[in-house]
Amino acid sequence: MLTDKKVLFLGAGSMAEAMIAGMIKANKIPITNITVSNHSNKERLVQLKTTYGINTAHREQLNLEQADIIVLAMKPKDVEKALYSFQHTLQPHQIVLSVLAGISTSFIEQHTAKGQQVIRVMPNTSSAIGESATAISSGKYTSQQNMEIAKELLACIGEVYVIEEKHMDGFTGLAGSGPAYIYYLMEHMEKAGTQLGIPQPISREIIAQTILGAARMVQKQGEDPASLRQKVTSPNGTTAAGLQALEDNGGGVAITEAVIQASGRSKNMSEQLLKTIVS
């Protein structure tokens, strides 16, 4: 489905690079069908061309009409200016794929031709190794066929989840910020391992494998985390003692609040960003 599609990235940051690397590794789209552009950083374009062999183009050289999928990957504050610059060139049948945090599909639809097919995308940082949890939401005019094309494209960087756009802030709290929570947990487990005499490099590997194994158990066993936790917790055993320490020190509440606070901040930032853009 993707082999004949031409993809144009507007923006050449880390997320654009992660998507490009994933697409090339998955061999879904010919390298000759991938083009990346940015506003002014020519050195960055040279770097991407050298690394991946893709096409590059400066903004004034763009041939927008030839692209099937246009990925908005610039800074969110620059989106209105970018949309204005090609609002008469963009065609409704082209897919606009936006990875811009805080920018709604309706905002993009309002700044493009009526009927423009827009899909909002939110990957997380694990996309760099092809293990992203990526959410996508359909715009008002997007066809199911184009949603399937977007899902296939984004599967190159990990797992894809279709959600309602109103849940994007919640997704941010769970998955967008989620890796940081896990790194924080690993950081403190590593400190404990060191205090117990386990060399730090070995401790880090043990923790990483433990978390990976636990995640795989949830994926493969089909059981909820609470059930799996109960299965490994013997009364008055070592795990029970550790869990009790977490409970006594507010571990569960802290995790829940982290997700809720991050979600709330995401919503607040989106509102502030849109006020800045339209003012």
| Residue 12 sits in the same domain as residue 98 | yes
CA gap 242, 248 in Å, rounded: 10
| Residue 95 sits in the same domain as residue 39 | yes
Q: Is residue 275 part of a domain?
A: no
Q: What pLDDT was estimated at residue 115?
A: 94
Residues of the chain with pLDDT under 50: none
| Residue 232 φ then ψ, to 5° | -100, 10
Q: Is residue 268 part of a domain?
A: no
- pLDDT tens digit sequence for 202-259: 999 999 999 999 999 999 998 999 999 999 999 999 999 999 999 999 999 999 999 9
| Residue 184 sits in the same domain as residue 245 | yes
Residue 221 parent element (H or E): helix 200-221
| Residue 227 sits in the same domain as residue 149 | no
Q: Is residue 141 part of a domain?
A: yes
Per-residue tokens: 119 = 């899909």
Q: What pLDDT was estimated at residue 279?
A: 64
| Residue 153 sits in the same domain as residue 214 | no
List the helix and strand counts (H, then E) for the chain: 11, 8
| Residue 16 sits in the same domain as residue 114 | yes
| Residue 227 sits in the same domain as residue 136 | no
Q: Is residue 58 part of a domain?
A: yes
Q: Is residue 170 part of a domain?
A: no
Per-residue tokens: 203 = 């401790």
Structurally, how many domains does the chain consist of?
A: 2
Residue 72 parent element (H or E): strand 69-72
| Residue 207 sits in the same domain as residue 129 | no
Pairing of strands 158-162, 55-56: unpaired
Q: What pLDDT was estimated at residue 41?
A: 82
| Residue 113 sits in the same domain as residue 45 | yes
DSSP lists the bridge partners of residue 97 as 71, 119
Question: What domain range is 156 assigned to?
Answer: 7-165
Per-residue tokens: 160 = 């894809």
| Residue 81 sits in the same domain as residue 157 | yes
Pairing of strands 55-56, 69-72: unpaired
Q: Is the C-alpha dihedral spanning 52, 58, 63, 69 positive or negative?
A: positive
Q: What predicted TM-score, i.e. pTM, was given to this entire model?
A: 0.90
- pLDDT tens digit sequence for 67-83: 999 999 999 889 988 89
> Dihedral (C-alpha) 251, 254, 259, 265: value to the nearest 10 degrees?
-160
Round to the nearest angstrom and report the end-to-end CA distance of the chain: 41
CA gap 206, 170 in Å, rounded: 31
Q: Is residue 145 part of a domain?
A: yes
Q: What pLDDT was estimated at residue 58?
A: 83
| Residue 191 sits in the same domain as residue 151 | no
Q: What pLDDT was estimated at residue 275?
A: 82
CATH code for the domain of 13: 3.40.50.720
| Residue 109 sits in the same domain as residue 206 | no
